[in-house]
Structure 1
Amino acid sequence: MCGRFIITDTAPDLVAMFDVEIEGENLPDPSWNVKPTERIPIVLESAKQDPPVRRLEAARWSLVPSGSPDLALGYPTFNARAESVGQKPAFAPSLAATRALIPATGYFEWHTEGATKTPYFVASDDGLPLAFAGLYSWWRNPALSDTDPARWVLTATILTTDAHGQLTEIHERMPVALPEEWWDQWLDPRIVGDQALVDAAVLASRALTETLDFHEVGKVEGNGPELIEPVR
């Protein structure tokens, strides 16, 4: 799973990194402790124009299907299991046409032995940012009028898969981090997304997994660069 991550790049950094054409408003500041339901930057391509336009937008981290009557669901949707996402009613419509990249500097994972949970920080061994495979959905607040600009809320989720390589030492699951050569294909809304696309993306992510390092950290509390310092 991926329940906490960090993103230390600024909006201009992400615009350059992902060849973004339009930078959205009110993008979140860098954070060393991003939690579910908080605002995160996501990269998407809008199908309203042809060819699609790449955008950097702020989203609520926990996907809410567009037809949901309420923003708060009774089950967690900040992660979506890659092996079954195509069969899940909450995620399948987004998989078909509204896929996203979730930029991250790295993420936290907890290794459990008995009653003891030990936090680790996972990141690329070369310090380069990661791009998690994600999905997004626009949720419409039925309590607000069509003229209220707050009636639409952008929401997103991160795909996870079985842990691979050395990461199996700390947890059984991990986010799907896509290599750069997969970014365009994953984002393109003209490509109808299905389970086969996800399976291929997971396979492509395996090589990138080999470049990930991890180290034990202290308590993941507060928000600052000290959270990723190794325990000595």
Structure 2
Amino acid sequence: MCGRFVVTESSQDLIELFDIDQAAAELPGPSYNVRPTDQVPVILESAKSEPVVRRLESARWSLVPSFAKELASKYPTFNARSEEVASKATFAASVVSRRAIIPATGYYEWHTEGTQKTPYFIHSASDVPIAFAGLYSWWKDESLPPEDPARWVLSATILTRDAIGELAGLHPRTPVMLPPEFWDTWLDPHEPGDQSFVDAAVDASTDMFDDLVFHEVGPVKDDGPQLIEPVAG
């Protein structure tokens, strides 16, 4: 799973890296401790415009399906298991045409032995941003008037898969990390998504494991670059 992650890239860095056409006026700043329900940067493409426009938006990290009665959910939706995502009502519609990339510098995972949980920071050995495979949704808050800009809430989730290699010894699950050659395909709203499409993205993500490294860190509390510093051996 992925319950906390890090984004140190600026909005301008993301605009250049992902060839963004339009960026929202207000975007979340860098954070070393992104938590579920925080605002996170997301990259998406919408079929409502032709040609399709690639946008950088701010989204709530915990997907709220359009049919939800309220914003909060009793079930966690910040992650979605890739193996079954197309058959889950919460995520199925987003799989079809509302797919996103959630950029990250790296993420935290906790290795459990008995009752002891030890945090680790996982990132790219080449220090390039990671592109998490995500889904997004728009939810309408019926309690607000139509003219209120807060009436529409953009939210997102991160897909997960089985971990492999050394990472599997740390935790059995990991985010799906897309290679650059799969970015356009994943975002394309004209490419109808289904479970086999998601499975292809997971297969493409396997090569990304070769570039991952991790180290133990201290307690993941508050914010700041000290959170990703290695614990002195």
**TM-score range normalised by the length of the shorter chain:** over 0.9
1:1-232 residue pairs with structure 2 within 5 A? 1-232=1-232
1:18-50: CA deviations, max 9, x gaps?
000001121001000000000000000011111
Query: Structure 2 counterpart of 1:128, which letter?
Result: V
1:136 is displaced (CA, Å) by: 0.2
Distance 1:54 1:6 in 2: 23
Query: Structure 1 counterpart of 2:137, which letter?
Result: S
Indicate the SS of the match to 1:204: helix
1:142 is displaced (CA, Å) by: 1.1
Distance 2:53 2:69 in 1: 29
Distance 1:223 1:80 in 2: 26
Indicate the SS of the match to 2:90: coil
Indicate the SS of the match to 1:13: helix
Query: Structure 2 counterpart of 1:41, which letter?
Result: P
1:66-106: CA deviations, max 9, x gaps?
11110001100000000000100000000101000000000
Indicate the SS of the match to 1:91: helix
Query: Structure 1 counterpart of 2:71, which letter?
Result: L
How much is the aligned-residue C-alpha RMSD, in angstroms? 0.5
Query: Structure 2 counterpart of 1:36, which letter?
Result: P
Q: Gapped runs of 5+ residues in structure 2?
A: none
1:118-137: CA deviations, max 9, x gaps?
00000001100000000000
Distance 2:95 2:30 in 1: 27
Indicate the SS of the match to 1:210: helix
Indicate the SS of the match to 1:178: coil
Size of the aligned set, in residue pairs, is 232
Q: TM-score, structure 1 length as denominator? A: 0.99
1:222 is displaced (CA, Å) by: 1.0
1:223 is displaced (CA, Å) by: 0.3
Q: Which aligned runs of 4 or more in structure 1 are off by greater than 3 angstroms?
A: none
Same amino acid, percent of matched pairs: 59
Distance 1:164 1:43 in 2: 27
1:188 is displaced (CA, Å) by: 0.3
1:224 is displaced (CA, Å) by: 0.4
1:51 is displaced (CA, Å) by: 2.0
Distance 2:77 2:110 in 1: 19
Indicate the SS of the match to 2:206: helix
